[in-house]
């Protein structure tokens, strides 16, 4: 027969081992639950280094402490781009005081037409705090490759009437500058809001 003393010793030892494992880091906090695709730990989409609409070089480091939402598009986009930026503007307003901790970054995939003055006016339509980035064709190609983003020119009836196909999604970075979420276009404002709140809460 197993003695009561042995049972108590076994239980206490097990509890001690569990406590020890927790202290050693073998257990972890519950994983954050996102509406979008969880990219935590991804080895791509690590950042950018491009001039903004005012000619100032911008990197993720500039926005430490904020949730950064990166979106690739172009100013003559008829639907996806303005809808995404409008949703981000709505989320920022709905966050109230926490809205100051949200930073939208728009990267143009059409630097040929998206001149700095055009980008400045375009972003002002949504929120004056939103940042637009525009690099050389080579720089845009490099940053799109880093983010695994697709884009391509689609010829129009005239040389200047072309449009751009591009990945319709946003990348969400936490306040430490780590990519965390891939948010597909069409998910809606509430899903975007939920994931941004989760990141603002430090999860």
The phi, psi pair for 20, rounded to 5°, reads -65, -40
Interacting residues of 179 by C-beta distance below 8 A, sequence separation 6+:
39, 42, 44, 45, 46, 171, 172, 173
Residue 184: predicted pLDDT: 96
Quote the pLDDT of residue 32: 81
* H or E segment to which residue 133 belongs: strand 131-133
- In eight-state DSSP terms, residue 101 is G
**How does 124-137 read in b/e, with b if 16+ C-beta sit within 10 Å?**
eebbeebbbbbbee
CA distance between the termini of the chain: 49
* Number of helices followed by number of strands (H, E) in the chain: 5, 10
- Residue indicated by tokens 């519950």: 30
**Candidate from 21-25, 102-106, 111-115, 182-186 with smallest mean pLDDT:** 21-25
Q: How far is CA 74 from CA 22, 71, 153, in A?
A: 48, 10, 11
Handedness of CA 107, 112, 113, 114 (dihedral sign): positive
Percent of the chain with pLDDT strictly greater than 90: 82
CA angle 188, 36, 25 (to 5 degrees): 145
d(CA 127, CA 39): 27
**Residue 98 to residue 145: CA distance in whole angstroms:** 32
- pLDDT tens figures, 24-63: 343 444 578 999 999 999 999 999 999 999 999 999 999 9
The dihedral through the CA atoms of 120, 121, 123, 126 has a sign that is positive
Question: Do the Cβ atoms of 71 and 87 come closer than 8 Å?
Answer: no
């Amino acid at each position: 027969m197993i003695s009561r003393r042995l049972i108590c010793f076994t239980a206490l030892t097990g509890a001690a081992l569990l406590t020890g494992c927790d202290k050693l880091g073998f257990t972890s906090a519950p994983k954050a639950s996102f509406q979008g695709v969880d990219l935590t730990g991804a080895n791509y989409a690590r950042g950018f280094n491009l001039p903004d609409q005012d000619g100032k070089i911008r990197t993720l480091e500039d926005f430490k402490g904020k949730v950064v939402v990166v979106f690739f598009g172009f100013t003559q986009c008829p639907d996806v781009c303005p809808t995404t930026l409008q949703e981000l503007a709505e989320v920022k307003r709905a966050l109230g005081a926490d809205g100051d901790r949200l930073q939208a970054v728009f990267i143009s995939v059409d630097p040929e037409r998206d001149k700095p003055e055009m980008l400045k006016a375009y972003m002002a339509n949504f929120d004056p705090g939103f940042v637009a980035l525009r690099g050389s064709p080579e720089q845009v190609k490099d940053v799109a490759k880093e983010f695994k983003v697709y884009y391509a020119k689609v010829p129009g009836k005239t040389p200047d009437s072309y449009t751009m196909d591009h990945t319709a999604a946003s990348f969400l970075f936490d306040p430490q500058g780590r990519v965390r979420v891939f948010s597909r276009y069409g998910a809606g404002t509430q899903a975007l809001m939920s994931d941004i709140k989760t990141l603002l809460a430090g999860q």
